Structure 1
């Protein structure tokens, strides 16, 4: 599996995949408009399979010099259950070994806890539909708690 940045001509397909997973009452056009805003401040990565097909993707946003936000983690339906989401997340985080990572989980905590994430305390949770989780060393975790929690969800 090869981790690489998504190409501009692949974005429409990735938007369609994301919209199927998280429409949140938006049309595809509205979903695309919302996600295009992220393209300016982040990097959309894909995991490419042996036949050059895209198997999974995510968005990595630089929120602070030491903190990245992870969003729109999705695995193509035909490739689910093979550990590709985990591989994608791990490879992206390995690109920034000294950084902390934040995400909002809509699938509970167990999956992300296996990757080293922990839920922020209840006082730092601001979304009813997504639990804010962080993967950070002790120093960066404490620093995150001392600053306003980025709201990119």
Structure 2
């Protein structure tokens, strides 16, 4: 098996970001009508904890910030591609859908279909949500300034 190209790796990373910010039902709805090929579960959905790390002052010494619950899954297509799915929280179904999507975007046969039917509509919704939140935040912006007195 070949090492993934930078283009494929970038596509997979972007897809994981979009899928991670989407709801399980929303992902499943976009998968309707796609003839998913035979696959096997390498890792059934399971929940666990990951340690969140922070840095003092943004670039200082690292420290353990706390733990977060995650779900993960792994799927192998009959053609050999392996997909991995991770998501915050205890949602095994979402991790499984993400893993399936990850495996399918690695194939030449399904990559375009997944991009068109699943990722494009989800990406549009995620971007619209980000713009809405940015607009709400911008509406509360306060400009602080300092007046300089004429005293010397």
Q: Give TM-score, length-normalised by structure 2.
A: 0.26
Q: Larger helix proportion, structure 1 or 2?
A: 2
Larger radius of gyration: 2
